[in-house]
Amino acid sequence: MLTYSIRRLLIAIPTLLFISLVIFLILEMAPGDPLADQPLTVPPEVREKMRAALGLDQPAWVRYLLWLKQFFWTEPLHLVDSLLGTGFADPAGRIVSWQFRAPAMDIIWQRLPQTLQVVGLAYLVGVIIAVPIGIISAYRQYSWFDNIGTFVSMVGFSVPTFFTGVVLIIVFAVNLHWFPSIYDTTLKVTDWESFLKQARQMVMPVTVLALFNASQISRFMRASMLDNLQQDYVRTARAKGMGEKVVVLRHVLRNSLIPVVTVIALGIPTIFGGAIITEQVFKVNGLGQLLITAIYANDLPMVQTLTFIFAALTVLFNLIADVLYGVLDPRIRYD
């Protein structure tokens, strides 16, 4: 398993380099200009100077190589520096965001907790409610519970989060005043009161996202349970005289969870990607919002860095999912 993992990681390197090149080329070819949102009152000469200050006067391949060096050399060194207090990295060589004129990675680190808190919690809640719903739906296939579950997950999956989000805001924030409509990212949890405040402002975004996640995962869980419930080994377990609880939870569930666990693992990078729309709707301003504003502002270094990190996480979690599969399913061996 270890050699397998190492081999996979090694294969990932050219893959990632290729991905980074593709991202760069796409961004390069996409229309748009980082200075587009500067007012028309800024004269062209000034624009030219600003362009040069961003390094945009360099040819594309130079900028790509520079980014590679910045991402794979300077930024890791800087990380080492900030952890150990050393001074290997040249601060001038870091990836600089065009909109902030500040190191992109610093902003990404600053945004991470916000996203992990809201989107991560939503994912967790989604998984926690999806698994039992999937189990019961499959076990009682076509019962009213299953039918309602199917309906709700269809709704949760097909109605976009910007719609559910705005509906929740209008009902619970505008009309009922239960929850705030704007997420306060400056809130620090220090005592019980601020904790409640934090919980209150997380309710709506977490609900919207959890519903979305749960509808997806519960469908997977249900399908996987149904697959396994038909299997002979379940009949074997019943023939052995095991109780229904044992049959379902020990035999069926454990086997059904194998593909579901990998689906869940594959979904984790999307947490880091942030829920772009939900973050926008509730002004959570995490990584998703960072990406979308960077795209709007044509902040290429930021977009490139973020998308590449998401790509790397996706590759990594693919590997983790495969390894998990190997761990969970004794039939699969990577040797």
Partner 1 sequence: MRLKSALLGAAAGIALAPAAFAERGADGHLNIIYWQAPSILNPYLSSGTKDVESASMVLEPLAGFNEKGELFARLAEDIPTLANGGVSEDLTTITWKLKPGLLWSDGTAVTSADVVFSYEYCTHPEGGCAQAARYEGIQTVEALDDLTVKVTFTAPKPNPYNAFVGSTSPIIQKAQFANCLGAAAPQCTEANFGPIGTGPFTVTEFKPNDVISMAANANYRDPAKPAFATVTFKGGGDAAAAGRAVLETGEFDYAWNLQLAPDVLAGMEAAGKGKVINAFGTLVERIEMNMTDPSPSLAEGERSTVKHPHPILSDIRVRKALSMAIDRNLLVEVGYGKAGRPTCNLVPAPEMFASDNTECLTQDVEGAKALLEEAGWTDSDGDGIRDKDGKKLSLLYQTSVNAVRQDFQALVKQWWSEIGVETELKSVDASVFFGGDPGSPDTFQKFYADVEMYANNFDGTDPEPYLSQYLCDKIPGPDNGWQGENINRFCDPAYDTLVAELAKTGEIEKRAEIAKKLNEMLTKDSYVVVPLVDRGRNSAHSNTLGGVVLNTWDSELWNTSDWFRVK
Partner 2 sequence: MLDTAPVRRKLVEVQGLRMYFPITAGLLRRKVGDVKAVDNVSFDIYEGETLGLVGESGCGKSTCGRVILRLYDPTGGSIRIEGREIADAAQSDLRDIRPTMQMVFQDPQASLNPRMTVAAIIGEPLDEHTTLSKAEKLARIYELMDAVGLNRNYANRYPHEFSGGQRQRIGIARALALNPKFVVCDEPIAALDVSIQAQVVNLLEELQDRLGLTYLFISHDLSMVRHIADRVAVMYLGKIVELAPRDDLYLRPLHPYTQALLSAVPEPDPELETQRRRIILKGDVPSPANPPKGCNFCTRCPKVMDICRTVDPAFREVEPGRFTACHLFSQSNETAGQTAAAEARQSIQQGV
Are 326 and 8 a contacting pair, CB within 8 Å? no
Give yes or no for residue 167 binding partner 1 (CB under 8 A).
no
Least distance in angstroms from the C-beta of 231 to partner 2 = 6
Site for partner 1 (CB under 8 A): how many residues?
55
Nearer residue to partner 2 within complex by CB, 92 or 239: 239
Q: At what angle do helices 300-328 and 2-29 cross, to 10 degrees?
A: 150
> For residue 87, which phi and psi values (nearest 5 degrees)?
-140, 45
**Contact pick of 9, 26, 52, 148 for partner 1 (by CB under 8 A):** 52
Q: Which two tokens stand for residue 152?
A: 């709700």
**Contact pick of 280, 304, 305, 307 for partner 1 (by CB under 8 A):** 280
Least distance in angstroms from the C-beta of 173 to partner 1 = 5
> For residue 318, which phi and psi values (nearest 5 degrees)?
-60, -45
Nearer residue to partner 2 within complex by CB, 47 or 235: 235
CB 322: neighbour CB atoms within 10 A?
18
Nearer residue to partner 1 within complex by CB, 114 or 255: 114
328 binds, options partner 1, partner 2, none, Cβ within 5 to 8 A by partner type: partner 2
Least distance in angstroms from the C-beta of 144 to partner 2 = 12
Nearer residue to partner 2 within complex by CB, 103 or 259: 259
Least distance in angstroms from the C-beta of 121 to partner 1 = 19
Q: Which two tokens stand for residue 294?
A: 């960077």
231 binds, options partner 1, partner 2, none, Cβ within 5 to 8 A by partner type: partner 2
Cβ neighbors of 160 (< 8 A, separation 6 or more) are 277
CB 185: neighbour CB atoms within 10 A?
16
Sequence-ordered strand ranges (E) for 131-229? none
Cβ neighbors of 229 (< 8 A, separation 6 or more) are 138, 139, 252
Q: Rule CB under 8 A: which residues touch partner 2? A: 142, 231-233, 235-244, 246, 251, 254-255, 258, 328-331
Least distance in angstroms from the C-beta of 134 to partner 2 = 18
Whose CA is closest to 129, among 212, 247, 203? 212
Task: From 120-128, 249-257, 296-304, 317-325, give the range in contact with partner 1 by CB under 8 A.
Answer: 296-304
What is the C-alpha to C-alpha distance for residues 100 and 102, in angstroms, rounded to an integer? 5
> What is the full DSSP assignment across 231-286?
SHHHHHHHHTT--HHIIIIIIIIHHHHHHHHHHHHHHHHHHHT--HHHHHHHT--S
Nearer residue to partner 1 within complex by CB, 9 or 36: 36
**Contact pick of 3, 158, 186, 190 for partner 1 (by CB under 8 A):** 186
Whose CA is closest to 220, among 137, 312, 294? 137
Nearer residue to partner 2 within complex by CB, 106 or 329: 329
- The dihedral region occupied by 142, where left means phi > 0, alpha psi between -120 and 50, and beta the remainder, is left
173 binds, options partner 1, partner 2, none, Cβ within 5 to 8 A by partner type: partner 1
Least distance in angstroms from the C-beta of 161 to partner 1 = 14
DSSP state of 99: T
Give yes or no for residue 82 binding partner 1 (CB under 8 A).
no
Least distance in angstroms from the C-beta of 241 to partner 2 = 3
Least distance in angstroms from the C-beta of 180 to partner 1 = 6
In the complex, which residues of this chain contact partner 1 (CB under 8 A)? 31-33, 35-54, 91-92, 96, 99-103, 106-107, 110-111, 169, 173-174, 177, 180-182, 184-186, 280-281, 283, 285, 289-290, 293, 296-298
